[in-house]
Amino acid sequence: MSPAAAEFRLGAVIITMGNRPAELNALIDSVVNQEGPAVELAVVGNGAPLPPLPAGVRTAELPENLGIPGGRNVGIELFGPNGRDVDAVLFLDDDGLLPLKDSAKLLREAFTADPGLGIVSFRIADPETGVTQRRHVPRLRASDPLRSSRVTTFLGGASAVRCAVFEQAGQLPAEFFYAHEETDLAWRAMDAGWAIDYRADVVLHHPTTSPARHATYFHNVARNRVWLARRNLPALLVPLYLGTWLLLTLARRPSGEAWRAWWGGFRAGWRTPCGARRPMRWRTVWQLTRLGRPPVI
C-alpha cells in the first residue's frame, strides 16, 4: 500500500433496526479485521435501541425510524459535519459481511489513485452460492458481474463515498425514506464532476432477497422516481424519463395490488414536495448517455 493510501481515512456507517444482532456483530468483526489502518465505525439505531457494541464505535439511537437515507445521514454526521473526520464513508447493510480482508486496502488505493473518483459501488454476492443478482450490478449491461466499470449509480448498502462529495453535492435525500436515494446522490455527484466506479473485486456478502419485501416498495419506487426526475432532470427530459418508466412498469404486468400501490406513489410524487430542484447540466446528461445510461431510462 502506498503512503498516500495508508493515510486515507475510512469510516463505516451501519444503520440497524436492532433485529439482527448476530449479523451486525459479524459485520462489525469483518470491518475490524480489515488489513491496514483501522476503519472507524459508526452505528445508528434507526428507531431502535442498539445492542452492546465494541468500544470505540460511534453511536446514535434515533427515537424514530428516519428511513435508509435519513439514518445514513445521521451516521455521516457522527464523523463530523459531512464526515470531515474521515476521507470516505462506507455504507454497509447490517446483514452484510465483508468476506475479504483487503476490501479497505482496495478502496484506499482506488480513491488515492484517482482524485476524481467520488463513489465506489461494491459487488454484492450471496454468501451461499456466490451469485450476484443482475439488479445488484449498477449498469444496464449486467450479464457479467465480475467486470468492473465506470457507472452512473451505486448500491446503497455496499458502497463507499468520498466525503468531499457530501460537501459539494449534499448528502442523501432523507425525504425519499427508501428507494432511488442512491441515484439522486449519484446524479448530483456526477453533475459536480465526480466519477463512480463499480468494483467487482470489492465484495459484500448479502443474502439473496427481493426488494419487494419492504411493505412500501411499490409506492416508494414510483413516488421517488417522480421526485428524482423533478429534482434533477432538465424540464425537457422529465416527461420522457417518467413516460418510459410508466411503460416499463405496465410491461412487467404487476399484480392489481402492486399496480394500485405504484400508481398511488406516482401521483404522490407529483402532489408532494420533493426538495430543492437543481436540474443537471446537459453536459451531465451527455456523460450519463456516454456511459450507457441516458436519463430517460
**Which contacts of 74-82 are long-range, i.e. CB under 8 A and separated by 24 or more positions?**
74/15, 74/44, 75/13, 75/14, 75/15, 75/42, 75/43, 75/44, 76/13, 76/163, 76/166, 76/171, 78/13, 78/42, 78/44, 79/11, 79/40, 79/42, 79/163, 82/163, 82/166, 82/167, 82/171
Give the residue with greater pLDDT, 4 vs 191: 191
Q: What are phi and psi of 123, to 5 degrees?
A: -90, 125
Q: Is the confidence at residue 234, as pLDDT, over 90? A: yes
Interval 90-139: pLDDT, tens: 999 999 999 999 999 999 999 999 999 999 999 999 999 999 999 999 99
Q: Is the confidence at residue 242, as pLDDT, over 80? A: yes
| Per-residue b or e along 205-217, where b marks 16 or more CB atoms closer than 10 Å to that residue's CB | bbeeeeeeebeeb
Q: Is the confidence at residue 212, as pLDDT, over 80? A: no
Nearest CA to 113 out of 40, 28, 199, 47 is that of 199
Interval 21-51: pLDDT, tens: 999 999 999 999 999 999 999 999 999 999 9
Q: What are phi and psi of 62, to 5 degrees?
A: -90, 140
- Whole-model pTM? 0.95
Q: How confident is the model at residue 72 (pLDDT cuts 50, 70, 90)?
A: very high
Determine what percent of the chain is predicted with pLDDT higher than 70: 98
Q: How confident is the model at residue 13 (pLDDT cuts 50, 70, 90)?
A: very high
Interval 174-206: pLDDT, tens: 999 999 999 999 999 999 999 999 999 999 999
Whether the Cβ atoms of residue 46 and residue 65 lie closer than 8 Å to each other? yes
Cell of 99: 468476506
Strand 117-125 relative to strand 195-205: parallel, antiparallel, unpaired?
parallel
Name residue, grid cell 476521507. 87
Identify the CATH class of 3-209: alpha beta
